[in-house]
A and B are shown apart, each in its own frame.
Chain A
Amino acid sequence: MDLSAINPVLLIASLMVAATPLLLAAIGELVVEKSGVLNLGVEGMMIVGAIAGFAAAVETGSPLMGFVAAAVAGAALSLLFAGLTQLALANQVASGLALTLFGLGLSALMGQRYVGVKPPQMARVDLPLLSDLPILGRILFSHDVVLYFGIALTAAVWAVLKFTRAGLILRAVGENHEAAHALGYKVVKIRTLAILFGGACAGLGGAYISLIRVPQWTEGMTAGIGWIALALVVFASWKPWRALLGAYLFGGVTVVQLNLQAAGVAIPVEYLAMSPYLITILVLVILSADKSSAPASLGRSFHASR
């Protein structure tokens, strides 16, 4: 066992990379749930985003195009969910589960040609001076654009929900859709937009795994991150910064356990592999003592005649 092989600087830097897919998916789902919709299809939208982004990046040679394609693919899949739940008034739980199963199958089909292919590399941001700072430079200032985008998105979602009218309307729709309708807000339209946003975010998160974190394509490579994102939203009490905290915690434990595995610690690999899921959920359960903040209309179908 050789713990000295673990470099703390690299550890923190890779923690942020490991956390980003989860963060993106969770922020998207947070917005969806704030609008009162429970979309259990995050895992499916992520994996479809992963393969769509991977394919687009390989074909165009541009990782950035890959991310755009991933967001579009995630949103397209979520549109199916929106149609089912908002127009056809299908049950949200069943539709979400179906979406996940569908996404897993679809991605396997789409990805057959891409197994073993190497995607183009995403350039790292190179900030003169900042990136050259001794330790902070490596930890904070030499990542790819999408990682920063994830943090910026968290800040943006927090600010929009807290300070803007659009955010207020979104929260109102999730809180009491009948009252929002009575005041003349278009509940179905607002929810559909939120679902699309959530789908695009999940797609981005998936592509981050296949293009940057791993980077290659294997079937089922999201490995339950979508489910963790769903749990994260609940345990983060629908608060964006807490979702960020939870995502980094999950990323941190993941990276640490990988390093411990590499260092040959005498704990069975299975226990190490399950530790990120266990520890994240445990910490968030303790954090989420204030349970009153769930959107009151979460998971309820809305129809104007009722």
Chain B
Amino acid sequence: MSTPPLLTLEGLTKAYPGVVANDSVSFAIGEGEVHALLGENGAGKSTLVKMIYGLVKPDSGRMILRGAPYEPAEPRQARADGIAMVFQHFSLFDALNVAENIALGMEKPPALRDLAARIREVSEAYGLPLDPFRTVGDLSAGERQRVEIIRCLLQDPKLLIMDEPTSVLTPQEVEILFETLKKLKSEGTSILYISHKLEEIRTLCDHATILRLGKNVGECTPADTSARDMAELMVGTALKTPERSAKAFGEVALDITGLSVPAPSAFGTALKNVHLAVRRGEILGIGGVAGNGQDELLSVMSGEVTCARDAVKFDGKPIGHMGPTARRGLGVLTAPEERLGHAAAPDMSLTENALLTGSVREGLDNKGFLKWGATRSFAERIIKGFDVRTPGPENAARSLSGGNLQKFVIGREVLQRPEVLVVNQPTWGVDAAAAAAIRQALLDLAANGAAVICISQDLDELMEISDNFAALNEGRLSAPRPTAELTVDEIGLMMGGAHGMEVAHV
């Protein structure tokens, strides 16, 4: 590189009690470079970018921004120095409108009316159209991300940090985003890009730094390195790809006919005339942009929302009126998307969480008295079988990293020998190796004769494991089609294109 780098990190170290999140990490980001940061869950990527953004102070090491020492005490200062960040879990306020959300992220925002005009102008210029007066709670995931990006762009950043930006987007939305990022790059903005999706990094990034267990373990030029090699650098060992065995499908296990359910809340989606049938041994993949009825569909299948008796049938018997416990007894199990609060109770231990869904099928209670010994060994079985990294089952669910808790939540259902398993976003925020393990578990489950419904926004995942694919769009489910015959473009169209959004005019 002939020009001096924009930002140089030298020996950054940050330790938390019991774990070193970053161990003397050094690398440099060039001017106008798209730099990828790769690593498994818990490799220290988030801590590193938090240090750059001033949310966390390094224990030792230093940063140099354009030749001058850079020590941001708080995000405000980082923003003033031209560092902007798009968060993995959007840092947006649902009840406020787009312009108010953007104003909150700026140091000296202009009057709301001028700001709205600026938002329109910048969002059109970068091909990310947005209405400044819409309430954020009503926006799709892709649109919410636009809000975050525009918030950053309005401050003319020198470095834009993006933490897993594409995990919630449709392929079309990803394309729009990449066009925007390429335009930014051509204008000289540097981008630090964090993602698990190696193919994306290969098409977009100029340079990659790989972290493993807090250490910088290598650098590469993504365009010249295969995705497999990068994944193995991240994990440190050879990678297994999920294998599927050829099989014939059995009887229809779960059958939903003509199901319509009104939206449960103001920000929810109504289900409209949904039909689906899944056979034993089959994995049905359900794609769609977030907020198109995924949560509602899952709650209808889990029994959290009951409906007409005949709308949902298990092995031909009507179960639409049954609640979750009765359905669990029959073998219809679910693992919802939201890990903390829905799939697991954050402040309860893993043992207690194992009991919460496992008591019916694993017989963990006796006339209302709990069998703690059996529960504990069930929890230990999950931890062992799914490689959940935790000191033990007495730890609170909240203390686990997202990926580890996800392994626990999925493992808990898989080990209960379900007849039908419905999962929503089974590998959200999970690293490549753990995701592969979860997918393998779902495939094995189907191979052993269970019917599996996998709701996901990760199309690569659906393509990899599902036999048939259907898409949810505004509460309507498309007719399922065999996955093997579909291309990514066709899937995108099934999902309703870019959800009514225009493609970039760049």
Contact = CB atoms under 8 A, between A and B. Distances in A.
A182 B100 contact: no
A184 B75 contact: yes
B289 to A, nearest CB: 22
A293 B104 contact: no
A165, A169, A175, A306 interface centre (most CB from chain B within 10 Å): A175
Interface in A158-180: 165, 168-169, 171-172, 175-176, 178-180
Contact of A168 (B54, B100, B398): B100
A184 B76 contact: yes
Interface residues of B, number: 21
Given A165-B109, A169-B104, A178-B91, A184 B74 contact: yes
Nearest to A178: B91
B266 interface: yes
A168 B74 CA distance: 20
Interface string B91-113: 11111100010011100010000
A296 interface: yes
Given A172-B96, A292-B266, A293-B95, A182 B76 contact: no
A168 B55 contact: no
Given A168-B100, A172-B104, A179 B95 contact: no
B100 A179 contact: no
A1 interface: no
B178 interface: no
B168 to A, nearest CB: 16
Given A182-B87, A184-B75, A184-B76, A296 B95 contact: yes
Interface string A130-156: 000000000000000000000000000
B103 A165 contact: yes
Contacts of B90: 179
B92 A168 contact: no
Contacts, number: 50
B100 to A, nearest CB: 6
A5 interface: no
Nearest to A183: B105
Contacts of B55: 182
Contact of A179 (B76, B93, B109, B398): B93
Nearest to A171: B96
Contacts of A182: 55, 75, 87, 91
A179 B88 CA distance: 11
A171 B103 CA distance: 13
Contacts of A306: 398
Contact of B94 (A168, A169, A176): A176
A183 B104 contact: yes
Nearest to A169: B104
Interface string B42-77: 000000000000110000000000000000001110
A7 to B, nearest CB: 46
Nearest to B16: A305
Contacts of A176: 91-94
B95 to A, nearest CB: 5
A169 B74 CA distance: 17
A185 B54 CA distance: 12
A295 B95 CA distance: 8
B55, B74, B79, B104 interface centre (most CB from chain A within 10 Å): B104
Contacts of B105: 183
A171 B135 CA distance: 14
A165 B55 CA distance: 22
Interface in A98-136: none
Interface of B: 54-55, 74-76, 79, 87, 90-96, 100, 103-105, 109, 266, 398
20 contacts: A165-B103, A165-B109, A168-B96, A168-B103, A169-B104, A171-B93, A171-B95, A172-B96, A175-B94, A176-B92, A176-B93, A176-B94, A179-B90, A179-B91, A179-B92, A183-B91, A183-B105, A184-B75, A185-B104, A292-B266
